Structure 1
Amino acid sequence: MFSGRRAFVTGALSTVIASQIRTTAFAASGSKPPDVTTQPPRSWSGVAPTGYLPDPDVISLDPSFKDLTFSGTSIQRVLTGGGWLEGPAWLSEARILLLSDTIRSEQYRFIPPDGAGEGSLSVYRRESYHSNGNTLDTEGRVITCEHDMRRVIRWEHDGSCHIVADSYNGKPLNSPNDVIVHPEDGSIWFTDPSYGDTLIEGHPDAPGKGTNSAGKLRWRIGSELPPQFAAHERQEDHTFRVDAGTGSVQAVLSQTAVPSPNGLCFSPDLKTLYVISCVPDPGQTGTKGQSVIYAFDMIDGRPANRRLFAAMTLEGHHLTPDGMRADVFGNLWCGASGSFGAAGVFCYNPAGTLIGRIRLPYGCSNLTFGGLKRNELYMCCGPHLFRLILETQGAGLS
């Protein structure tokens, strides 16, 4: 769930320029640049390519990946026309997918299609304060990260809103990004980088600080936020844990441990915590984001013994990871952006080996498992939502 808008535009321009440079270089050498077009070329309207199975964009890099996929189905684009979709969470009782649109500051309820074509979309929450990550707690209550209000909230069964966290050490949070719940002790874990400290995803920092270093951005225009949220001076990136009993907010990982923290999830046995270090925050100082996945041992309910789990590279290209989910076998499914056909979803086994990938026409910001059997992988890619039916199931609460 990184600052996708800026990264998308910048990345797209960089890709075009890099492509032109590379094409010119290849032309000068008498050879052609690498072709990453699906063969045969596919259309992304509905189910495509029609008649070509197994899907050529579901790529197995290890025999074990074939046990997780179903050769009789293909990738579907089930929704298009959003602003920037994030935070997918499957609500089992309602049988809907909850989505955040970080640009339009709305949340949607998505009813998946029975077969081919697109599903049904309606507004779930008209003003979401630029919400991002969503999840469910052990009681089925929706928990949401809000960039604009710089807080994490929970919707109670009676419809009231409970503030889970909005400050640390007496200062407002930056822009809570992704959130998960520990299924045994009920604690809430979330990352707090500064991707939402921008006009497009929330509101900028106070004049002279962070994203408003020149002091020219009028950070309160168009906002009904209280002054204490608008006049914000960011603090260090953290990964937080909120105790289910006391509600106390504890920083369990610092910016040095995981700079620019983004997606996070537990392994199915709860012995490992995975945290993504994404691209550097806008206006970031100190240790910068590294675009890798770190793993931590869970010891006495806290992360320890940091190690590099995945360097996020493919054929010499460094990818940008964002959100991730684990399946019941302990495999990690990670959405990422990249160039030259490297965008999509990457599947790592518990040992950190890349065993397969789902090649998509856009970078994937976040994903989750849904459907009645929790074997449908929903992938957010900017304004689009893709789906792939699998032979594995999601391990988390949402």
Structure 2
Amino acid sequence: MPSPTGRRAFLAGACGVLIAPHAHATSAPSTPPDVTSTPPRSWSGKAPTGYLPDPDVIALDPSFRDLTFPGTTIQRVLSGGGWLEGPTWLGEARILLLSDTIRSTQYRLVPPEGAGEGSLSVFRQESFHSNGNTLDTEGRIITCEHDMRRVIRWEHDGSCRVIADAFNGKPLNSPNDVIVNPQDGSIWFTDPPYGDTLIEGHPDAPGNGANPTGKLHWTLGTEVPIQFAGHERQPVHIFRVDSTTGVIEAILSPEDVPTPNGLCFSPDQKTFYATGSTPVSANEKTQSQHVIYAFDMVENRPKNRRIFCTMTLDGHNLSPDGIRADVFGNLWCGASGPFGLAGVFCYNPAGKLIGRIRLPLGCSNLTFGGPKRNELYMCCGPQIFRLLLETQGAGLS
């Protein structure tokens, strides 16, 4: 789900190109090509690449080949969005639910059966700059909304219920990613300030957070009630909402997970994962590292924090975003960074990077879908890519 780092890395990628492995180092083009492999591939939908296996599905360990299908290629199934997030597979309808955080709309995507792009239609015309989506244990859609600073759930009768919009008497920041623990039905979500901006949500009140100088017209062009406009901001927590009582608990503090973003459980719900960064004290000269944290689940609470992996490749520390686990416990993570390195990283349960999917854009979020839940859908800014796998997604979305 969105991070300023991911967007800035995406924009910065337009300023310089890293030559992909095995590419011929010729004079740098004035405009980066929309390809990563050599020879250049086409994203027209007719012939993504002339080679099998796909040269942009890269095994860094032999075990990764057991998870991929060599007879298929990366396919672009959607283009022309704003900034796409929160992909969630609705199995009964066989559609992909998407949030466009910039256009403040939710879409339904009917994936293509073959080559070409899928069929897109509006699911919710005004989504209040929604971001993360998931399903609960009863199949109800749960959504994070930046603009209203809340988490909502759509009931079976079509009504909307607010799950969380405040904590300790203060409004939330901009709920970002959301998941459900299948064991107890509890709802977990991150609440970073990434959506406290004019383009993706509702600016803070003058003198606060994303609007320190008060130059932004924070009430102009929106009907959002003034109480959601961010007079006071929360510390950045990961929250848990009890499925029975509705009680909101700050389950992890900013010290536990600095700058939290994506989150997920292992297939057996014994491990909880969250993307974030390492803390840096005021007297340190080094910058924080982007990492994925792991916690043991003890009586449905995260304990024993440790760094699961550092998001580093070829000397670059990439920015992790959405994460999902497959049925074997491998962790698939969207990452933003330099051209040729960004895409999707796959780690085994021990935290070893075993493979990656090289994409022309940084990947903010991803999910497993399809009738067999073995299709990996990857959100990359205005586009969505799909890859058929020999593994299946775990969890509810």
Q: What's the TM-score once normalised by structure 2's chain length? A: 0.92
Alpha-carbon shift at residue 232 of structure 1 (Å): 2.7
1:254 and 1:231, CA in 2 relative to 1: closer, same or farther beyond 3 A? closer
Q: Is the 8 A contact 2:6 2:362 kept in 1?
A: no
Please give the alpha-carbon distance, in whole angstroms, between the structure 2 residues aligned to 1:130 and 1:369.
23
Which residue matches 1:75? 74
- How far is 1:369 from its partner? 0.2
Residue of structure 2 in register with 1:343 after alignment = 342
**Residues in 2 aligned to 1:78 and 1:7: alpha-carbon distance in whole angstroms:** 21
Q: Deviations over 1:296-346 (max 9, x none)?
A: 010111001110011000111110100010000000000001114101000
* CA-CA distance at 1:91 after TM superposition: 0.3
**3-state DSSP of counterpart to 1:333:** strand
Aligned residue number for residue 301 of structure 1: 300
**For residues 221 and 74 of structure 1, what CA distance do their matches in structure 2 show?**
46
SS at match of 1:321: strand
The answer to whether the Cα contact below 8 Å between 1:278 and 1:322 also exists between their aligned partners in 2 is no
**Cα 1:13–1:123, aligned 2, differ >3 Å: closer, same or farther?**
closer
2:63 alignment partner, SS class = helix
Q: Secondary structure at the match of 1:251?
A: strand
Q: How many Å separate the matches in 1 of 2:249 and 2:120?
A: 37
Cα gap change, 1:79 to 1:15, in 2 (>3 Å): closer
Cα distance in structure 1, aligned partners of 2:235 and 2:111: 39
Give how far 1:14 is off. Answer: 3.6
* Cα distance in 1 for residues equivalent to 2:46 and 2:290: 32
Q: Which residue of 2 aligns with 1:158?
A: 157
1:2 maps to 2
Q: Check conservation: 2:375, 2:386, Cα contact below 8 A.
A: yes
Q: How does 1:1-398 map to 2 (within 5 A)?
A: 1-4=1-4, 7-8=6-7, 10-12=8-10, 14-17=12-15, 37-277=36-276, 290-398=289-397
* Per-residue Cα deviation, 1:373-396 (whole angstroms, up to 9, x for no partner): 000000000000000000000001
Cα offset for 1:152?
0.3
- Verify the 8 A CA contact 2:208 2:230 in the aligned structure 1: no
> Which AA in structure 2 matches 1:64?
S
Please tell me the residue identity of whatever aligns with 1:169.
N
- Runs of 4+ in structure 1 deviating by more than 4 angstroms, as ranges, are 16-20, 30-33
- TM-score, with normalisation over the residues of structure 1? 0.91
CA contact (8 A) 2:173 2:233 kept: yes
CA change 1:323–1:41 in 2 (3 A) is same
Give yes or no for contact 1:154–1:163 (8 Å, CA) kept in 2. Answer: yes
1:225 to 1:279, Cα distance in 2 relative to 1, 3 A: farther
Could you report, residue by residue, the CA deviation over 1:84-133 in whole angstroms, capped at 9, with x for unpaired residues? 00000000011100000000000000000010000000000000000000
Highest RCO, 1 vs 2 (Cα 8 Å, sep ≥ 6): 2
Q: Distance in 2 between matches of 1:277 and 1:48?
A: 37
Q: 2 CA distance for matches of 1:40 and 1:231?
A: 50
Identity of aligned residues (%): 74
Secondary structure of the equivalent of 1:261? coil
Using the TM superposition, give the Cα deviation of residue 178 of structure 1 relative to its aligned residue in structure 2, in angstroms: 0.2
Tell whether the 8 Å contact from 2:48 to 2:75 is kept in structure 1 after alignment: no
Contact kept, 8 Å, 1:334 with 1:345, in 2: the verdict is: yes
- CA shift, 1:201, in A, is 0.6
Report the alpha carbon displacement of residue 292 of structure 1 after superposing the two structures with TM.
Answer: 1.1
Equivalent-residue separation in structure 1 for 2:103 and 2:278 (angstroms): 23
Amino acid at match of 1:54: P
CA deviation vs aligned residue, 1:66-100 (integer Å, no higher than 9, x gap): 00000000000000000000000000011100000
Aligned partner of 1:335: which letter?
Answer: G
Please tell me the residue identity of whatever aligns with 1:2.
P
- Write the letter of the residue equivalent to 1:181: V
Instruction: From the superposition, tell whether residues 118 and 14 of structure 1 become closer, same or farther in structure 2 (CA, over 3 Å).
Output: closer
> Counterpart of 2:323 in 1: which secondary structure?
strand
Where 2:262 maps in the other structure, the secondary structure is: strand
Which secondary structure state, in structure 1, belongs to the residue aligned with residue 2 of structure 2?
coil
Residues 279 and 304 of structure 1: CA distance in aligned 2, closer, same or farther (over 3 Å): closer
Judge conservation of contact 1:188–1:241 (CA < 8 Å) in 2: yes
Deviations 1:142-168 (A, max 9, x none): 000000000000000000001000000
Q: How far 1:44 sits from its partner (Å)?
A: 1.1
Q: Which amino acid aligns with 1:123?
A: V
- Which string of whole-angstrom CA distances, capped at 9 and with x for unpartnered residues, describes residues 51-79 of structure 1? 31000000000010000000000000000
Residue equivalent to 2:282: none
Number of equivalenced pairs: 380
AA aligned to 2:161 is H
CA distance in 2, matches of 1:243, 1:60: 40
